[in-house]
């Protein structure tokens, strides 16, 4: 069965389930989008890796990655391989001692690891037929703009947060901000850490 490669194009609050988030995957060679609802912890795990942040202590997905690396296991790809009763299923395709091994995984966990291993994400046509959507032209433009802003480190939401952070952090010099960043990372306050990082980025200090 032919695999279709996907990429992460957006991560946002779920409109249908306010306690959860939605990660939107898009065809690399197509217009269809695959929205998947995930939990807040998994969304944070994905966002932290996408932003290149380094927590002072490893998060669960970092721990799993480190364990795999210790035993010389590499994640080759992630495959979203089934959809049953609205629930997505996924496999981690791993390489160990030259042998290919498939590990069953929750899709949200698989995506968090895909970001950490920088490996491709795939699915199948029947899944896109069942759950894929084609955005209206205007909405598609907004998704592409959001993706571009994220890649450039200037996502609109982050920009709003950093504007707020500037009002409270602008009095710190860069050395103090670095110390504050280390402190909040120790406390695993990643939201505040992102604001401090954005302030440092604006000053060219990170």
Domains of the chain: which residue ranges? 3-151, 156-203
Tell me: the pLDDT tens digits for 117-141?
Answer: 999 999 999 999 999 988 655 455 5
Tell me: the pLDDT tens digits for 66-101?
Answer: 999 999 999 999 999 999 999 999 999 999 999 999
DSSP 1-47: --EEEEEEEEEEE-SS-TTSEEEEEEETTSSEEEEEEE-HHHHHHHH
Q: How far apart are CA 54 and CA 49, in angstroms?
A: 8
Is pTM beyond 0.85? Reply is no
Q: Taking 50 as the threshold, does the pLDDT of residue 168 lie above it?
A: yes
Instruction: Determine the CATH number of domain 3-151.
Output: 3.10.690.10
């Amino acid at each position: 069965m032919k695999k279709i490669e996907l990429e992460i194009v957006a991560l946002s609050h779920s409109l249908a389930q306010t306690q959860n988030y939605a990660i939107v995957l898009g065809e690399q060679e197509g217009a269809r989008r695959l929205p998947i609802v995930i939990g807040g912890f998994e969304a944070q795990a994905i966002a932290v890796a996408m932003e290149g942040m380094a927590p002072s202590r490893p998060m669960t997905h970092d721990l799993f990655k480190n364990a795999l690396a210790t035993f010389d296991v590499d994640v080759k790809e992630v495959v979203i391989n089934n959809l049953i009763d609205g629930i997505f299923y996924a496999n981690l395709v791993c390489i160990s001692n030259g042998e290919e091994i498939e590990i069953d995984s929750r899709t949200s966990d698989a995506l968090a690891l895909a970001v950490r291993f920088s490996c491709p994400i795939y699915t199948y046509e029947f899944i896109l037929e069942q759950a894929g959507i084609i955005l209206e032209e205007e909405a598609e433009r907004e998704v592409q703009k959001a993706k571009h802003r994220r890649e450039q480190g200037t996502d609109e939401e982050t920009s709003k947060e950093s504007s707020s952070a500037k009002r409270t952090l602008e009095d710190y010099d860069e050395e103090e901000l670095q110390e504050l960043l280390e402190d909040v990372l120790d406390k695993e306050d990643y939201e505040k850490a992102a604001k401090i990082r954005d302030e440092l980025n604006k000053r060219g200090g990170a």
